[in-house]
């Protein structure tokens, strides 16, 4: 079983749709969780960190469920510019910060069409 | 401008010919890391470094070496490249205590 698993998609949605991605992780000692965005042939960039209480940034909402060991990303009112690959990232460094040994999911491809 | 740079951006080489991919960051970050990205496998960590002269293996360190003699530089060395090391490589840096890893633009390596 992979340490971090995502549905690779692709997800094809119309503009304005709401789309949700899930990511499961196998190590219960995981400490920090993130969503990164990667555009085609470009470097990944941090989209948002995921906090235990859940957090929101504009149209994006991230949730963490430690009991079931998954994190989610919800995108509301999808834009064409949201088309990208979304990477789930898990870290189980004892310090609880985002350095140390990071594990990436394989990514979920999102295409938003007119 | 805060950035992570990698060189070269593209490289085609042959099996067994030693090569080095350089990585440099201008943000005074303590932490630096190397990843490779392959279709269907995602990003996998090769090596990381918590500070000068402190390095550790990631998930796929075989066939690679790194060094961290200065804070800003973290070169990736392939002593004897093989075709299974054909991949897209990313370097990243992070301020300890921060959330955001900053990635370089990537190096596309082909080993024939």
Helix (H, G, I), strand (E, B) or coil at B82: coil
Residue of B nearest to A35 (CA): B100
By the 8 A CB rule, do A87 and A105 touch? yes
Average pLDDT over residues A23-43: 88
Going across the sheet that includes B4-7, the strands are: B4-7, B19-25, B76-78, B65-66
* Cβ <8 Å between B58 and A101: yes
Q: Which two tokens stand for residue A55?
A: 């957090």
Q: Which two tokens stand for residue A112?
A: 């938003």
Residue of B nearest to A87 (CA): B42
Helix (H, G, I), strand (E, B) or coil at B89: strand
Q: Which two tokens stand for residue A94?
A: 């004892």
By the 8 A CB rule, do A110 and A11 touch? yes
B54 CB-contact burial (10 Å; exposed 0-12 / middle 13-18 / buried 19+)? exposed
Contacts of B58 in chain A (CB under 8 A): 101
Q: Which two tokens stand for residue B87?
A: 């991949």
Q: What is the pLDDT of residue A100?
A: 62
Average pLDDT, chain A: 88
Query: How far apart (Å, rounded) are the C-alpha atoms in residues A48 and A62?
Result: 8
Most confident among A20-29, A36-45, A89-98, B89-98 (mean pLDDT):
A36-45
A29 or B71: which leads in pLDDT: B71
The yes-or-no verdict on residue A97 having pLDDT over 60 is no
Window from A15-19, A78-82, A88-92, B56-60 with minimum mean pLDDT: A88-92
The yes-or-no verdict on residue A94 having pLDDT over 80 is no
Query: How far apart (Å, rounded) are the C-alpha atoms in residues B41 and B8?
Result: 23
The yes-or-no verdict on residue A31 having pLDDT over 80 is no
By the 8 A CB rule, do B37 and B90 touch? yes
Query: How far apart (Å, rounded) are the C-alpha atoms in residues B78 and B101?
Result: 24
Residue-wise pLDDT tens digits, B41-100: 889 999 999 899 999 998 899 999 999 999 999 999 999 999 999 999 999 998 877 778
Interface of A with B (CB under 8 A): 8, 34, 41-46, 49, 87, 97-107
A33 or A93: which leads in pLDDT: A33
C-alpha distances in Å from residue A72, one per residue of A49, A52, B13, B33, B57: 11, 12, 41, 25, 29
The yes-or-no verdict on residue A96 having pLDDT over 50 is no
The yes-or-no verdict on residue A99 having pLDDT over 80 is no
The yes-or-no verdict on residue B6 having pLDDT over 90 is yes
* Cβ <8 Å between A100 and B48: yes
């Amino acid at each position: 079983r992979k340490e971090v698993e995502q549905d690779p998609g692709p997800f094809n949605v119309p503009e304005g749709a709401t789309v949700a991605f899930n990511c499961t992780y196998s190590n219960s000692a995981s400490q920090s969780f993130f969503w990164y965005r990667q555009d085609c042939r470009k470097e990944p960039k941090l989209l948002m960190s995921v906090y235990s209480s859940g957090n929101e940034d504009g149209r994006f909402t991230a949730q963490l469920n430690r009991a079931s060991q998954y994190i989610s990303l919800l995108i509301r009112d999808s834009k064409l510019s949201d088309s990208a690959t979304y990477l789930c990232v898990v870290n189980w460094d004892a310090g609880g910060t985002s350095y140390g040994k990071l594990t990436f999911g394989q990514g979920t491809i999102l295409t938003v069409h007119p | 401008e805060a950035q992570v740079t990698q060189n070269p951006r593209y490289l085609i080489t042959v099996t067994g010919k030693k090569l080095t991919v350089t990585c440099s960051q201008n943000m005074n970050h303590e932490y630096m890391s190397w990843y490779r990205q392959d279709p269907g496998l995602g990003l996998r960590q090769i090596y990381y470094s918590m500070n000068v002269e402190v390095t550790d293996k990631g998930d796929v360190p075989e066939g690679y070496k790194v060094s961290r003699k200065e804070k800003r530089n973290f070169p990736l060395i392939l002593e004897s490249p093989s075709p299974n090391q054909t991949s897209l490589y990313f370097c990243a840096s992070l301020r300890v205590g921060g959330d955001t890893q900053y990635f370089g633009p990537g190096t596309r390596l082909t080993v024939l």
